[in-house]
């Protein structure tokens, strides 16, 4: 789960990381009032969206007067901000963060991520801040500092000082950097985060170390331990299909293809998508319905897949262990009858109660295409989809 910049800054501030003064606004009028409250003569207005590259896309504006703030916000509110991370559809702007401008002497990149190879938290830092880490890696790989944190002891002060020295900080700034690094690590570990990024972390003209921007992501599976973090979720920034799936306990990721996938198990879902591509098709989604696929759950999965208007055929691939093929078959039949579906549906069942499941499909009287292997199922769904294209696009009711 991602959160907004202003939310990440509030969290990090509670862990001892210094941030510039700022305030949230939901309208141009409120933004101008917030600037008046903050004081000063220069402010930064930042669109709050879950995406990087906001500055290049016009989502960050420097303002010198309250009228400029009003005009900037009037231009931002209600529009879609399109960056290299959002895709052409962009993300809607419904709130802005007004922040006091600070004199910047130097910018630093700072990130905390999970390193899969070492199974540890890795700190990634660079003296070249203000750029995407991918660009830094390509243009200035020698500027990148990497440091693994041992979970048994956490981030020690000597390790934080070593990072500060590697970044070339002056001695008088080292202790501030240590506090920043330890605060970020504490927030990361205590709140089950998967990423903390400050870009840029700036050194100001009056020798302060400030997080000028901040991003945080959290492990969805750990949110039950942190209800205060779960409350920060902003569904307006999510793919509506993925948001709808999460609310129903389903794991869904939307893709650009046209063959919908309903599968149990993440590994089998990945294999199913690969096999569809091998057969000449393009998967429309990743969907793992989990181990306890009741008929009602399968029917929900069908509705979710069909919420994507690009879907022109559906492949149901179930390997039942904890699951039961007869339950899945009942769910498929229930969904097809309720939705009055007029799209090719291929079902491959294997495992527990597979014979009963096959009988339910056969007795339903519905035009369900059955398969016994994954490769056969992929070839049949791709063939059925191509056959439909030659006959013209069918209509469906959802």
Instruction: Please give the CATH number for the structural domain made up of 104-230.
Output: 3.30.470.20
Q: pLDDT at position 88, please?
A: 83
pLDDT over 80 (residue 200): yes
Q: pLDDT at position 250, please?
A: 74
Q: Which of 6, 70, 97, 197 is catalytic?
A: 197
Q: Which of 6, 70, 97, 109 is catalytic?
A: 109
Instruction: Please give the CATH number for the structural domain made up of 21-100.
Output: 3.30.1490.20
Q: pLDDT at position 273, please?
A: 95
Average pLDDT of the residues of the chain: 89
- For residues 161 and 234, give the distance between their C-alpha atoms in angstroms, rounded to a whole number: 36
pLDDT over 90 (residue 395): no
pLDDT over 80 (residue 132): no
109 is catalytic: yes
Convert the pLDDT of each residue in 340-357 to its tens digit: 778 899 999 998 889 999
**What DSSP line would sit under 149-190, residue for residue?**
EPTTT-S-HHHHHHHHHHTT--HHHHHHHHHHHHHHHHHHHH
Poorest-pLDDT segment among 62-66, 193-197, 337-341, 355-359: 337-341
> In the block, which residue shows the tokens 């901040």?
214
Q: Over range 261-286, report the average pLDDT.
A: 92
Q: Which residues are annotated as a binding site?
A: 46, 53-55, 99, 102, 107, 199, 213, 264
Q: Which pLDDT band, with edges at 50, 70 and 90, does 394 fall under?
A: very low
Domain boundaries, the chain: 21-100, 104-230, 240-391
Q: pLDDT at position 83, please?
A: 87
Q: Which residues are annotated as a binding site for ATP?
A: 46, 53-55, 99, 102, 107
Share of the chain above pLDDT 70, in %: 95
Q: Which residues are annotated as a binding site for substrate?
A: 264
97 is catalytic: no
CATH T-level assignment (fold) for domain 240-391 = Rossmann fold (3.40.50)
pLDDT over 60 (residue 397): no
- Pairing mode of beta strands 285-288, 251-254: antiparallel
């Amino acid at each position: 789960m991602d959160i907004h910049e202003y939310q990440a800054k509030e969290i990090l501030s509670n862990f001892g990381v210094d941030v510039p003064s700022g305030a949230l606004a939901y309208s141009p009028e409120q933004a101008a009032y917030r600037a008046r409250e903050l004081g000063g003569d220069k402010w930064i207005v930042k669109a709050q969206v879950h995406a990087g590259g906001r500055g290049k896309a016009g989502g960050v504006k420097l303002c010198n007067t309250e009228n400029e703030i009003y005009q900037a916000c009037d231009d931002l509110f209600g529009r879609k901000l399109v960056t290299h991370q959002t895709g052409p559809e962009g993300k809607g702007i419904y709130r802005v963060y007004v922040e006091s401008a600070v004199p910047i002497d130097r910018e630093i990149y700072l990130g905390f991520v999970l390193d899969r190879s070492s199974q540890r938290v890795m700190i990634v830092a660079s003296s070249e801040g203000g750029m995407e880490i991918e660009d830094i890696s390509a243009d200035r790989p020698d500027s990148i500092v990497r440091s693994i944190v041992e979970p048994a002891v956490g981030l020690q002060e000597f390790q934080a000082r070593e990072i500060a020295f590697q970044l070339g900080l002056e001695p008088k700034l080292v202790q501030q950097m240590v506090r920043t690094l330890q605060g970020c690590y504490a927030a990361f570990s205590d709140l089950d985060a998967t990423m903390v990024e400050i870009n840029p972390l700036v050194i100001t003209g009056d020798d302060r170390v400030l997080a000028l921007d901040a991003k945080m992501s959290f492990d969805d599976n750990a949110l039950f331990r942190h209800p205060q973090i779960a409350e920060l979720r902003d569904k307006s920034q999510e793919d509506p299909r993925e948001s709808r799936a999460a609310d129903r306990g389903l794991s869904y990721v939307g893709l650009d293809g046209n063959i919908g996938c309903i599968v149990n198990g993440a590994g089998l879902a990945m294999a199913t998508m690969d096999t569809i591509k091998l057969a000449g098709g393009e998967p429309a989604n990743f969907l793992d319905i989990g181990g306890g696929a009741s008929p009602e759950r399968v029917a929900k999965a069908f509705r979710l897949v069909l919420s994507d208007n690009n879907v022109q055929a559906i492949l149901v691939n179930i390997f039942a262990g904890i699951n039961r093929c007869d339950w899945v078959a009942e769910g498929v039949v229930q969904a097809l009858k309720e939705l009055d579906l007029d799209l090719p549906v291929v079902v491959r069942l294997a495992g527990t109660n597979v014979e009963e499941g096959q009988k339910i499909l056969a007795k339903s009287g519905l035009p369900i295409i059955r398969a016994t292997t994954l490769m056969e199922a992929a070839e049949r769904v791709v063939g059925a989809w191509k056959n439909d294209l030659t006959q013209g696009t069918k209509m469906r009711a959802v």
